[in-house]
A and B are shown apart, each in its own frame.
Chain A
Amino acid sequence: MKFGVLRFPGSCDEVDALRAAARVGDAELIWHGERDLKGADAIVVPGGFSYGDYLRAGAIARFAPAMESVISFARDGGLVLGICNGFQVLCEARLLPGALLVNANRRFTFRQLELEVVNARTPFTRACVAGERLSIPAKHSWGRYYADERTLAAMDDAGQLVLRYAPGENFNGSLHDIAGVCNERGNVFGLMPHPEHAVDELTGGSADGLKLFESIRLAVEGARG
């Protein structure tokens, strides 16, 4: 199966995401100006500072030609993973509910964190077990997840709250310790921590992030088979 990893001006972690995805399937970079998604089975919108985070993080990237294709792809049920800045882009593009605001401590913070898997039945977490802890680094300054209480309640009921910061790990002030959410349909998923930086013990401190990429592969191949 094939991952398509978007690259915007200012993307930083796209090569890391490409390498992580390549451990699990084929992977190719997709330039922001192109509409052709190159037959990708799953799209990764990576971390970084697309367009310098100018105006608001992700606010400009969401209008890129490649994103127009990603929006159609998502509407057709294609799998889309948004990491950090990618999560911000997906929220700006309204593919995911809510918004990411400035960290409660107002500072960029980099830390290895423990996450809890809340919903292990999504295409992005099926290689995990509900309640499992994943050790994954986070590094951002605009990661505080916000949605109004009614929306959050509906998301909770629908199983859209997928990953949560373990107790004591929530440094950005996200409501309900939310670290990652998916859309109602379950094919679009965004998270602030960086699974692509936890695919190798030597450099990542853990290989737990690989499980998310593995899950996507299982979902794509399962859908075919």
Chain B
Amino acid sequence: MKARVLIRPKQGILDPQGVAVERALPALGFAGVSHVHVGRLVELDVQDAAQLQPICEKLLANPLVEDYEVQLLDGSG
């Protein structure tokens, strides 16, 4: 099955990429945008959904500084 993992910086840790994006938006004419955070997306096909959590914990995310969220996608992705 297809899965999508979203990886975000943990709350409270400085996210300079998010800050940079947030600061760039007004110059492009977009006002009222805040709390921007930049993370990573990993998509994968797995045969056994039970593998997803250990895959995330061991490799895809660094649990010390990142949170992750697993989305199971239906066959159409």
Contact = CB atoms under 8 A, between A and B. Distances in A.
A and B touch in the complex (CB under 8 A): yes
Interface of A: 55-56, 59-60, 63, 92, 98-99, 101-106, 144, 146-147, 173
Contacts of A106: 16-17, 20
Contacts of B13: 101, 146
Contact of B59 (A59, A98, A146, A173): A59
B65 A102 contact: no
Interface of B: 9, 13-14, 16-17, 20, 40, 59-60, 62, 64-65
B14 A104 contact: yes
Contacts of A55: 40, 59-60
A144 to B, nearest CB: 8
A154 B56 CA distance: 28
B64 A105 contact: no
Contacts of B14: 101, 104, 144, 173
A101 B20 contact: no
Contacts of A147: 64
A101 B65 contact: yes
Contacts of B40: 55
B62 A102 contact: no
A211 B64 CA distance: 32
Given A55-B59, A59-B59, A99 B64 contact: yes
A218 B13 CA distance: 39
A98 B65 CA distance: 9
Contact of A146 (B17, B20, B65): B65
25 contacts: A55-B40, A55-B59, A55-B60, A56-B62, A60-B59, A92-B62, A98-B64, A99-B62, A99-B64, A99-B65, A101-B9, A101-B65, A102-B16, A103-B16, A104-B14, A104-B16, A105-B16, A106-B16, A106-B17, A106-B20, A144-B14, A146-B64, A146-B65, A147-B64, A173-B16
